[in-house]
Amino acid sequence: MTVTLADVAARAQVSPATVSRVLNGNYPVAATTRERVLRAVDELDYVLNGPASALAAATSDLVGILVNDIADPFFGIMASAIQAEIGGPGGRAGGERLAVVCNTGGSPERELTYLTLLQRQRAAAVVLTGGAIEDEPHATAMASKLRKLGDAGTRVVLCGRPPAPDTRAIALTFDNRGGGRELTEHLLGLGHRRLGYIAGPEERTTTRHRLEGHRAALEAAGIDEDPRWTVHGRYDRRSGYEATLELLRRDPSLTAVVAANDSVALGACAALRDSGLRIPDDVSVAGFDDLPFSIDAVPSLTTVRLPLAEAGARAGRIAMGREEAPPGGIAMIRGELMVRGSTGGPRG
């Protein structure tokens, strides 16, 4: 019923081998023969059988991209950039590859299961985006899985994620600590002394690093941090809204709120406004990531820009073997402080 290589071969009066070679183009085939084959392919409307081809050749053209939340532009932007470089149709890369975007939802089990699924598909490469989960057993399981993938010839690249030791994985890590520190230094420079911090979920590297940067800046400035000034939440707007109200309840004298990321910062802004506070006159707000909407907030958000698209593109190229891995397999990608309207000197 379905057209196979053999059918094409018969029609073109050549052997299946020849058809295969024409299609893969890695073996000399006379121009006239090639033409005949291509015509047959066209006439029969032949479509290669991917699984069969993958099985015989022991390789596949699937590339996995793991993201925490595909609905979040932070991941969407990286995924998009990675995918463009992977060279799906229209990409500059030669062979047409299928990018498989997998949504882990931040769940450790899913992360692992997806990796197994990709391993099962004999994926050509896998790119993991976003922070890692800091759970000892899970980290061990991940490392082991990544090692196996690497051993099986799958190229593994971590994009915006800390290195995975004892693994062949290439890591392009965001300097969350440095960015967090710079951001808080900016606030301190403006004269703020009482800063609330809305952190992301615990046991996430991203959360921890940004928070560490923040605390390092405080410490360097000789400020004793009040434990009440830190609240943990999710990486979304809602969480930012609630956390801000909580922060305000705990200490109404705060003059600045630093958020785990831009979405959280937006929620913080909303909460402040709803509490009758002006930004930045009464309270300054800062975000992280510099997602596209941040500049449109009113006032526009002071934040740390992470080169998401660039990092994704680079990760994609490395995954495809079109760019050399950084020395040591690790590269630290710095963020850039974007000072905008949401931060100003403290009131009074």
Partner DNA sequence: AGCGTGACAGCAAGCGCTTTCTATCTAGTG
Partner DNA sequence: CACTAGATAGAAAGCGCTTGCTGTCACGCT
From residue 262 to residue 301, the character string flagging contacts with a copy of itself as x (rule: CB under 8 A) and all else as - is ----xx-xx--x------------------xx-xxxx---
Looking at beta carbons only, is 57 or 220 nearer to DNA?
Answer: 57
Q: At what angle do helices 16-24 and 31-44 cross, to 10 degrees?
A: 90
- How many residues make contact with a copy of itself (CB under 8 A)? 61
Give the three-class secondary structure for 155: strand
Of the pair 79, 123, the CB lying nearest DNA is at: 123
Binding site partner of 252, from DNA, a copy of itself, none, Cβ cut-off 5-8 A by kind: none
CA angle 310, 79, 68 (to 5 degrees): 120
Tokens 């392009």 locate to 172
Closest CA to 102 of 65, 133, 145: 65
The secondary structure element, H or E, covering residue 310 is helix 308-319
Which residue number, 131 or 316, has a Cβ lying nearer to a copy of itself? 316
- Rounded to an integer, what distance in angstroms lies between the CA atom of residue 146 and that of residue 137? 14
Smallest distance from DNA to CB 38, Å: 12
CB 261 within 8 A of CB 200: yes
Cα–Cα distance for residue pair 256/189, rounded to 1 Å: 12
Residue 315 touching a copy of itself (CB under 8 A): no
Tell me which of DNA, a copy of itself, none is bound by residue 23, counting a contact when its beta carbon lies within the kind-specific cut-off of 5 to 8 angstroms. Answer: DNA
Beta carbon nearer to DNA, 2 or 253: 2
User: In the chain, what is the greatest distance between 2 CA atoms, to the nearest angstrom?
Assistant: 88
Residue 88 interacts with which of a copy of itself, DNA, none, CB < 5 to 8 Å by class: a copy of itself
226 and 193 in contact (C-beta within 8 Å)? Answer: no
From CA 321, how far away is CA 155, in angstroms rounded?
A: 8
76 binds, among DNA, a copy of itself, none (CB under 5 to 8 A by kind): a copy of itself
Helices (H) and strands (E) in the chain, counts: 12, 12
Binder among 28, 120, 136, 252 for a copy of itself (CB under 8 A): 120
Beta strands in 175-229 (DSSP E): 195-199
Q: How far is the CB of 5 from DNA (least distance, A)?
A: 3
Q: Return the number of the residue (148 or 234) whose C-beta is nearest DNA.
A: 148
Identify the helix (H) or strand (E) that includes residue 65.
strand 62-67
Instruction: Give the shortest CB-344-to-a copy of itself separation in angstroms.
Output: 17
Site for a copy of itself in 55-114 (CB under 8 A): 55, 60, 62, 69-73, 76-77, 79-80, 83-84, 88-90, 96, 98-103, 105, 107, 109-110, 113-114
Q: How far apart are the first and last CA of the chain?
A: 81
Q: Which helix (H) or strand (E) holds 82?
A: helix 73-86
Annotate each residue in 207-246 with x if it binds a copy of itself (CB under 8 A) or - if it does not, as one string: ------------------------------x---------
Q: Which residues contact a copy of itself by CB under 8 A?
A: 2, 45, 47-55, 60, 62, 69-73, 76-77, 79-80, 83-84, 88-90, 96, 98-103, 105, 107, 109-110, 113-114, 116-122, 148, 152, 237, 266-267, 269-270, 273, 292-293, 295-298
